[in-house]
Structure 1
Amino acid sequence: MKRLLARPRLPRPRLRPAAAVLTAVAALLLPLTATQSAHAATTTCDPQGTISAGDYTIQANEWNSTAQQCVTYNGATAWSLDTANFGLPTSGAPATYPSIYKGCHWGACTPNSGLPIQISRLGSATSSWSTTQVGSGAYDVAYDLWINSTPTTTGQPDGTEIMIWLNSRGGVQPFGGKTGTSSAAGHNWDVWTGNQTSWKIISYVLQGGATSVNGLDVKALIDDAVGRGSVNTAHYLIDAEAGFEVWQGGQGLGTNSFSFSASTGGGNTGGDTQAPSVPGTPTVSGTTASSVSLAWAPSTDNVGVTGYDVYRGGQLAGSVTGTSFTDTGLSASTAYAYTVKAHDAAGNVSAASPAVTATTASGGGNPPPGGGCSATYAVSNDWGSGFTANVTVTSGGSPIHGWTVGWTYPGGQKITNAWNATVTQSGASVTAANASYNGSLGASASTSFGFQGTGSGAVPTLTCTAS
């Protein structure tokens, strides 16, 4: 799953079955107008397989089932779920979320996405989506927008997950509880909110349902979420996905066409249209095996510069208000190219500075083993008969190359599936070992894994052993 493939989605169990299924609204149904380009069909049956679709990526994203699923790409942005016969109860997490996305999903980024964008600087975000839905099974038809506190992340985003449900059937409901209604973006929505362990979830469920939307004002929904306290405007929109969470059935679901675009600006109400001057060429003020420090001469502006965006290889690495920045989490002995853009309070953005290339220092060989580690256990959801939980593993003062976490359940809990670790259980005793991609941790670094189980989610005492 490393190797720049999309990571599994963390589960969001639906705690209450719906009383009725959303039905399609004829006024919102839109015919497919985009002509699909000729393309030889490409199919993946890998649970975490991905297929490139130009500026988009199609992901199989089967994370909570071992049943076979096959996704076929038919050209342009069209794809279908050709093999699927899931059979999970709707009271728990879905089996899969096959979807198409633009942006950066768990560190896997699409080209020319325009993302990430800080919410306070989001000028517009629109999308059109035409779907094929089937009359059996249990599933939702939903966007998934991920918002993170920093411009990039290779793990679980820690800000807000915004879901936009166009339709559903089979009695499934969003995570959390219904807390209101909204008329944002010119449609009527039921609004559901809830909190996971490290991020918020807000879902907009289209009243009446639909199979297609055209020019949906996604920014209006984001603004609505900001107004409800679910989104921090200092955070970043990093990823926009659209697909099907499937509990039961699923074969025949598909996307006929999809588009998503987002841009900065649009918030300029004071008449300021002048962009700041180009920042000075950044200079490298220091490097380590995992970081690069930069500094640059400031920009000028007719009103005032409010901050700078630093780009690494064309992707936003971070935003600062001053004229220096340290980029962390890099690979040793690797060259990185950086540019800087300035922005003002009206959303005007300068041209990019000239680029500078920095090479990180050598890693200096393998550090000795035995740096030590600790682990913390947190229940993210508990619905009586089942639960989901996350464990965070943190290295000590020295790097480690692998880890094993153990615990004993006090009340007969049984783990049914897990992600980001190999988890085994014998009676009440559980052992979790790192996956191939998250065993090596730098000093005082962290990673996490999660799982779903039966029984109540009581918190056990953990042990952590490093190698």
Structure 2
Amino acid sequence: MQLSLLFLSSLAAASPLTALDKRQQATLCERYGYWSGNGYEVNNNNWGKDSATSGQQCTYVDSSSGSGVAWHTTWKWEGGQNNVKSYANCNRQVPKGRTIASISSLQTSISWSYSNTNIRANVAYDLFTAADPNHATSSGDYELMIWLARLGGVYPIGSSQGHVNVAGRDWELWVGMNGAMRVYSFVASSPINDFSADVKQFFNHLESSQNFPSNSQHLLIFQAGTEPFTGGETTFTVRNYSANIA
């Protein structure tokens, strides 16, 4: 389970995996390589790389506008097959002080692909909330994950609570603790490569079925990306990620 660290680090030199395309807006090869623009942030975020025996990852911002970001990440990791190595992601910047109850919609869409599916990884949205609006964005009181893909037999934190229907789709809901943080993971039964939904519906479901305290929890971060565990060199490509908070 990732703890995404939004460190402002300088851009690294060209990737050891893939040469820099001059059309790309940024190449991020440092452990917490970071880019921001048009209300979005992209993070290389190799937070768990120390659990690998070998490997590397670079993330690239291909294009961006106010309507979304196109980006990709190329990685290979060996060792520690049950440990997440990183969470390359794109985050929609969140206005501080918004409780979940005060948000009317969290409309988002993502279109993605993997060049190789013989890997252990997930593709997931990750949102943190906390009672303290100034809480660090690297964790929270609660974590909402929406797993669009589960590749190679990896599993979320906690235990299955059965299947639920949210945003017009069937999900297996997992609930567990990551330290003091309660984690809710909605897991798709098969990969969803093109996804569009109002994520507020997932919070509504948690409020009604899991006693999630929407009135006191502030949204800290609204991100989507991939968590690699292990695999040979592979590329995760996001043709467009967009998110809006209303």
TM-score relative to the length of structure 2:
0.82
**Which of the pair is proportionally richer in strand?**
2
In the TM superposition, residue 230 of structure 1 has moved relative to its aligned partner by: 5.6
Instruction: Report whether the alignment pairs 1:74 with 2:62.
Output: yes
Larger radius of gyration, structure 1 or 2? 1
Instruction: State the AA in 2 paired with 1:157.
Output: S
**SS of alignment partner, residue 227 of structure 1:** helix
Aligned twin of 2:41:
57
**SS of alignment partner, residue 200 of structure 2:** helix
Aligned twin of 1:180:
162
Aligned twin of 1:136:
118
Q: Determine if contact 1:86/1:247 at 8 Å carries over to the other structure.
A: yes
Can you list the C-alpha shifts for 1:230-285, whole angstroms capped at 9, x where unaligned?
Answer: 6222111121110000011262112110111122xxxxxxxxxxxxxxxxxxxxxx
In structure 2, how many angstroms separate the alpha carbons of the residues matched to 1:180 and 1:253?
A: 29
Unaligned runs of 5+ in 1: 8-37, 104-112, 264-467
In the TM superposition, residue 114 of structure 1 has moved relative to its aligned partner by: 3.8
In the TM superposition, residue 177 of structure 1 has moved relative to its aligned partner by: 0.7
Q: Determine if contact 1:159/1:232 at 8 Å carries over to the other structure.
A: no
Can you list the C-alpha shifts for 1:87-137, whole angstroms capped at 9, x where unaligned?
Answer: 23443x20111000023xxxxxxxxx4454212222111110011223221
Distance 1:80 1:190, change over 3 A: same
Distance 1:53 1:130, change over 3 A: farther
Distance 1:199 1:89, change over 3 A: same
Instruction: Report whether the alignment pairs 1:166 with 2:168.
Output: no
Q: Determine if contact 2:109/2:194 at 8 Å carries over to the other structure.
A: yes
Q: Which has the higher contact order (CA 8 A, sep 6+)?
A: 2
Aligned twin of 2:79:
88
Aligned twin of 2:186:
204
Instruction: State the AA in 2 paired with 1:260.
Output: A
Q: Determine if contact 1:99/1:242 at 8 Å carries over to the other structure.
A: yes
Distance 1:114 1:210, change over 3 A: same
In the TM superposition, residue 138 of structure 1 has moved relative to its aligned partner by: 0.9
Can you list the C-alpha shifts for 1:199-237, whole angstroms capped at 9, x where unaligned?
Answer: 1000001122211112x1211111111223262221111
Instruction: State the AA in 2 paired with 1:94.
Output: V
Q: Determine if contact 2:6/2:32 at 8 Å carries over to the other structure.
A: no
Q: Determine if contact 1:139/1:169 at 8 Å carries over to the other structure.
A: yes
Distance 1:114 1:209, change over 3 A: same
Q: Determine if contact 1:160/1:230 at 8 Å carries over to the other structure.
A: no
In the TM superposition, residue 39 of structure 1 has moved relative to its aligned partner by: 4.3
Aligned twin of 1:117:
98
Q: Determine if contact 2:173/2:186 at 8 Å carries over to the other structure.
A: yes
Instruction: State the AA in 2 paired with 1:52.
Output: S
In structure 1, how many angstroms separate the alpha carbons of the residues matched to 2:131 and 2:168?
A: 29
Aligned twin of 1:220:
201
Instruction: Report whether the alignment pairs 1:229 with 2:210.
Output: yes
In structure 2, how many angstroms separate the alpha carbons of the residues matched to 1:235 and 1:72?
A: 33
Distance 1:4 1:79, change over 3 A: closer
Q: Determine if contact 1:131/1:253 at 8 Å carries over to the other structure.
A: yes
In structure 2, how many angstroms separate the alpha carbons of the residues matched to 1:81 and 1:230?
A: 36
In structure 2, how many angstroms separate the alpha carbons of the residues matched to 1:4 and 1:246?
A: 18
TM-score relative to the length of structure 1:
0.44
Aligned twin of 1:42:
26
Distance 1:132 1:156, change over 3 A: closer
Can you list the C-alpha shifts for 1:293-336, whole angstroms capped at 9, x where unaligned?
Answer: xxxxxxxxxxxxxxxxxxxxxxxxxxxxxxxxxxxxxxxxxxxx
1:267-416 correspondence runs (5 A): none
Aligned twin of 1:25:
none
Q: Determine if contact 1:159/1:231 at 8 Å carries over to the other structure.
A: no
In structure 2, how many angstroms separate the alpha carbons of the residues matched to 1:155 and 1:185?
A: 26
In structure 2, how many angstroms separate the alpha carbons of the residues matched to 1:140 and 1:116?
A: 30
Aligned twin of 1:412:
none
Distance 1:118 1:71, change over 3 A: same
**SS of alignment partner, residue 172 of structure 1:** coil
Unaligned runs of 5+ in 2: 10-21
Aligned twin of 1:5:
7
Instruction: State the AA in 1 paired with 2:118.
Output: S
In structure 2, how many angstroms separate the alpha carbons of the residues matched to 1:4 and 1:194?
A: 24
Instruction: State the AA in 1 paired with 2:38.
Output: G
Q: Determine if contact 1:85/1:248 at 8 Å carries over to the other structure.
A: yes
Distance 1:227 1:88, change over 3 A: farther
Instruction: State the AA in 1 paired with 2:161.
Output: T
Tell me the C-alpha RMSD between the 2 structures. 2.2
**SS of alignment partner, residue 117 of structure 1:** coil
